[in-house]
Structure 1
């Protein structure tokens, strides 16, 4: 590991995180010497707003340069130097980190957690927007072919999402807990093992769903009525079957690198993959004259290309240190993974299942309403790709802190994340309200569809606040390993609250498409409130104990396996 460049990067990644918190807590010297301007009023204001240091004058400061080997590391408050000594070496940093953890001397600030979440979330936001642009490329291309084609691709995409893409994404969120806590606790070999287990699980689930997709036409016809729209949608889904293995592999691979803090790895991958998707759509649909099927072929090719690019990045550049090769142990001990994966899937699936039901309901209003619904789903899904990456960054950070037995610091991260969600939701609301006419026009030239979508998008704008809060709350629950709470809250909010309100206002009160989105907004408001309330009263120390128990179980299994292998060889 020491001689592998990616192993060196993994070590440096962990080292930087430890050094940052040690500096913030005055356990090792600061990076930069103090300057005179920091004693001015402006300097004090700057420190108050932006300094990541823990402002606790009862905490001991770092030892002076002439400290000997017998000098206590965390001794009583001493006088600071005029000069700043060099940062201790890696071994010394790790030693001080372990001693500081044992002495409960590590704390954090909202400034440090804000900085960390921004560093984690920004590349993820770019990543998710680029990833979703693969779907948008198909919608934009097909939207130029006609209203029926636009309605068909949106029906097919939503059906594919609800039956496979979203379940895959939901199941893979358990890696936000398992991989991140394994990495945070130093059990890096478990990161790759958990990713392997998830990939095999997703590929097994893929088989029966592929069969359903192949014979989807009568199912779609029964849901929205027979016609050319359902025929095109079924054709689109049959072609997408070819891309299903890549979707599963990419979701697991993303979590593998994200749990190590390598959020930019998927960004670089998509900087290559997303433009290729747009190019393929243009080539296959227009240049080669394949028309509607060409868009589905482009989507399937891109789905398989993305995991290949990400795996090449990990192998050639960074992140390979947590990969110990393929193992038969990937087919054992699936219980803890499934226990976390199923609630994680339900948390996401509950919302998107309701969205699919609402899309089918919109089809009862006519082709124009279904096309407008498709535009709104595409736009709101795109906007969701801002708070959802924030939720993943939050989940990873909280899980890392929980794995390091820093529950108090994890609570600080939670508060920062909730505040950030409010900001993100408000920005999305402003964009939707200001550009309500222009946004639908990007996807279609049909005036009737644009008019319907521009009116209903005002309801979608209000929904953005609750959508962001719910996403981050889901992430926090994953970070502390409480996915089951989120699954119960989601089922109640969407099926007891959202769905009845949506159908009642849409059909009973004749609000049409707007009523469907009013119901969904109500459901998001309820689920975000319930989860925020639970997080406020949750026992975060218990989450630390459960994380430690999971690590001990996996470590004991590994030792038993190695012991058995050694006995077989002897």
Structure 2
């Protein structure tokens, strides 16, 4: 069908009106495909993000100390574990997406198993770090009472890290096949059950503070079990999941060469935001600065789920089309998702500006906090516009397999420009928390410009060849091609 459209556009006698209609039709189809992917992915991101939020909310009923300790432990777990595993699993956006586009369906199950093995191995040293959370927090100057409870909370969360890695692999496996609604359904069921679990384990069982961590672990494992059952028994996965195979033990090093830059690409960005909040504690009036920066980080993280969903749609569409040997459609997918991101960021940014004077009341009744938050929201609105743009371009990078380039871009943007500039504005020029956040804005500008230039000057025909080479390098690729009746486009 795509080839026919390109042939039609090349006819010399076809009218300009007909050409425009064909092009417009192609754009409409692409918009539908991307929204069909992005909307469920946004819902999944919000639902899975809400598990930690729900747990912390229940702990708020036990007192301020358990609440503070759980918040610190959750932040520490995110920085040292969850973010790293999510980034590592994003390597599947490239390999699974391109294999699916090339109709090498059997390879998706092999690649998912390989990723599960790698992430499980990574989880072992990460769990050791979590087991010593108290010592790390004390070393970095955290209050000992909070550090003690945070360490206890983190130890009970250790089972979560193994489930989280497997869950990320299952999510990416289904996402690469454009099969995201089962993930939404399972996430919705688990989130609903999580509320009940927290109520029972935190308030009724006598576990109290530790019950929230146990509830997190149970919810993550239930989600893994539900999605695993779907993959095992659903007819829609019959071609992509053919059972466990020894092939997963091969080609681990090539996978890790893609997975480690994928993890760094995500972690370098996420860590800079956490560093921003930690730095706010060193400013004059640290209680006010830290409170406001935490509110801003929470707000920014929540609305970031929208561009994160668009980013997933971008990586899936680009990787699928490159694997299928359609460079023009891949290029169209990039243009469409960037247009959607621009519209979305303008709408969300406008809402943030409109609610700036009342948003602080959702977190605090202190007029100083509310006023400070109101002054920060226009900066957050600008940051969201830039973040939406770069998130989508990061998704394109994952779809193409540019993780190593993306890691270097993020390293330079955040740690050579953003963080130093934010510290300079915040401390030397005494702009405070606004200065720290403006440093992140500068990082987003540099990151967006670099990724834009890389994308703009991309030779999409060459990217198709690279995708073909990547698929061909997988173990027993010819056997899989024969089994699926497909051919690799060179």
TM over 0.5: yes
TM-score under structure 2 length normalisation:
0.88
Q: What is the distance in 1 between the residues matched to 2:7 and 2:355?
A: 44
More displaced 10-residue stretch of structure 1: 361-370 or 240-249: 361-370
User: By how many angstroms is 1:147 displaced?
Assistant: 4.8
Q: What is the distance in 2 between the residues matched to 1:107 and 1:382?
A: 33
Change (3 A) 1:462 1:140: farther
- Which of these residues, 1, 26, 31, is aligned with residue 114 of structure 1? 31
Q: What is the distance in 1 between the residues matched to 2:73 and 2:360?
A: 19
Confirm or deny that 1:293 pairs with 2:210: yes
More displaced 10-residue stretch of structure 1: 391-400 or 340-349: 340-349
Q: Is the 8 A contact 2:95 2:471 kept in 1?
A: no
Provide the residue aligned with 1:482 in structure 2.
Answer: 402
Q: Is the 8 A contact 2:251 2:475 kept in 1?
A: no
Larger radius of gyration, structure 1 or 2?
A: 1
Which is richer in helix?
Answer: 2
Q: Deviations over 1:458-509 (max 9, x none)?
A: 3222210111111101011111121222111100000001110121222222
More displaced 10-residue stretch of structure 1: 332-341 or 277-286: 277-286
Confirm or deny that 1:359 pairs with 2:281: no
Confirm or deny that 1:158 pairs with 2:75: yes
Provide the residue aligned with 2:257 in structure 1.
Answer: 339
Q: Is the 8 A contact 1:159 1:356 kept in 2?
A: no
Q: Deviations over 1:106-148 (max 9, x none)?
A: 9983222111101111111111111111122123333455555
- Which of these residues, 196, 202, 206, is aligned with residue 113 of structure 2? 196
Q: Which runs of 5+ in 2 are unaligned?
A: 15-21, 483-490
Change (3 A) 1:495 1:54: same
Equivalent runs, 1:347-496 vs 2, <5 Å: 347-365=265-283, 366-367=286-287, 369-443=289-363, 452-496=372-416
Change (3 A) 1:472 1:284: same
TM-score under structure 1 length normalisation:
0.77
Q: What is the distance in 2 between the residues matched to 1:160 and 1:370?
A: 19
Change (3 A) 1:148 1:438: farther
Bigger RCO of structures 1 and 2 (CA < 8 A, at least 6 apart): 2
Q: Deviations over 1:260-307 (max 9, x none)?
A: 110112101111011112222233333445443332222222122211
Change (3 A) 1:512 1:140: farther
Provide the residue aligned with 1:171 in structure 2.
Answer: 88
Q: What is the distance in 1 between the residues matched to 2:298 and 2:200?
A: 23
Q: What is the distance in 2 between the residues matched to 1:308 and 1:258?
A: 17
Q: Deviations over 1:194-240 (max 9, x none)?
A: 00011110111111111111112121123243243333322222221
- Which of these residues, 183, 186, 193, is aligned with residue 100 of structure 2? 183
Provide the residue aligned with 2:19 in structure 1.
Answer: none
- Which of these residues, 125, 131, 136, is aligned with residue 208 of structure 1? 125
- Which of these residues, 525, 528, 532, is aligned with residue 448 of structure 2? 528
User: By how many angstroms is 1:57 displaced?
Assistant: 5.6
Indicate the RMSD between aligned Cα atoms, in angstroms: 2.8
Change (3 A) 1:151 1:512: farther
Q: What is the distance in 2 between the residues matched to 1:451 and 1:229?
A: 29
Q: What is the distance in 1 between the residues matched to 2:297 and 2:336?
A: 29
Q: Is the 8 A contact 1:180 1:259 kept in 2?
A: yes
The size of the alignment, in residue pairs, is: 471
Secondary structure, aligned partner of 1:554: coil
Q: Is the 8 A contact 1:143 1:444 kept in 2?
A: no
